Amino acid sequence: MKKQLLNYETLRKVTNSISHSKDPEEIVLLTVESITSALGAKGCAIFLINRETEELALAASFGLSDEYIDKGPVNALKSISESLKEGPVAIYDVSDDPRIQYPEAAGKEGIASILSVPITAQARIIGALRVYTAEPWEFTLDDVNFVQAMGNITGMAIDMARHYKGLKSSIEILKTLRDPKSLKSRRRTPYEGVPESVLPERRA
């Protein structure tokens, strides 16, 4: 019961912070630290998919050494790829599992088990949230559900923060365009510099 209450408190803390923060970096840092603490794990990391390179770019980590983080590019097609397609994947022994891209680096880091869950935003997988343990860990259904819930919350928060930053940037640009002093010094098209995601549809 104590663990369930702790996980609930973590969810409450993270969602409360997200409601007051519009910074994606702050959100992911809080998430990885909170999950590590709640589960008593060795560490946690959030990766976002780079669609052009098919690599998982590290967005935030906690409890992991710089040496392990810099071990090499993480390939979305080689590193626990099932978690980006089929859902949560729990690996009990990283030293003897073909789904681990860098087993030697994991062993050197002192990682025994890994839980990887997808991060989604608007029904699209945008990355992975991974929990690392120092001792062999048979992840329970409660563990998986908790980490997946955190992954879902993180995805929504990142998506909202991205939209907020894009909209805020557009508003600042439009304010500049409306400034008479700016108009005298330099002419700009109505949509110059405005992110495409917030542009109105233009008629042909």
Whether residue 151 is found in the same domain as residue 69: yes
Whether residue 121 is found in the same domain as residue 186: no
**pLDDT recorded at residue 15:** 72
Q: Is residue 66 part of a domain?
A: yes
Whether residue 86 is found in the same domain as residue 118: yes
Q: Is residue 171 part of a domain?
A: yes
Whether residue 85 is found in the same domain as residue 160: yes
Distance between CA 195 and CA 204 in Å, rounded?
A: 19
Whether residue 31 is found in the same domain as residue 101: yes
Q: Is residue 203 part of a domain?
A: no
Q: Is residue 78 part of a domain?
A: yes
Q: In the β-sheet with 89-91, what is the strand arrangement from edge to edge?
A: 55-62, 43-50, 124-133, 113-121, 89-91
In which element (H, E) is residue 142 found?
helix 141-178
Whether residue 82 is found in the same domain as residue 182: no
| Dihedrals phi, psi of 7, to nearest 5 degrees | -65, -40
Q: Is residue 105 part of a domain?
A: yes
Distance between CA 189 and CA 192 in Å, rounded?
A: 5
Q: Is residue 204 part of a domain?
A: no
**pLDDT recorded at residue 165:** 64
Whether residue 97 is found in the same domain as residue 185: no
Total number of domains constituting the chain: 2
**pLDDT recorded at residue 20:** 64
Whether residue 174 is found in the same domain as residue 73: no
**pLDDT recorded at residue 187:** 40
Residue by residue, pLDDT tens for the chain (204 residues) are: 345 555 677 777 767 766 666 677 777 888 898 899 888 899 999 999 988 899 999 999 999 999 999 999 999 988 999 999 889 999 999 999 999 999 999 999 999 999 999 999 888 899 999 999 999 999 999 899 999 988 988 888 887 777 666 655 544 555 554 544 444 443 444 434 444 444 445 444
Helix (H, G, I), strand (E, B), or coil: what is residue 40?
A: coil
Whether residue 171 is found in the same domain as residue 135: no
**pLDDT recorded at residue 101:** 95
Domain with 170 in it = 166-198
- Contact between 170 and 198 (Cβ < 8 Å): yes
Whether residue 71 is found in the same domain as residue 118: yes
**Which CATH number fits the domain that encloses residue 22?**
3.30.450.40
- Report the phi/psi class of residue 137: left, alpha or beta, with left for phi > 0 and alpha for psi in -120 to 50: beta
Identity at 114, one-letter amino acid code: I
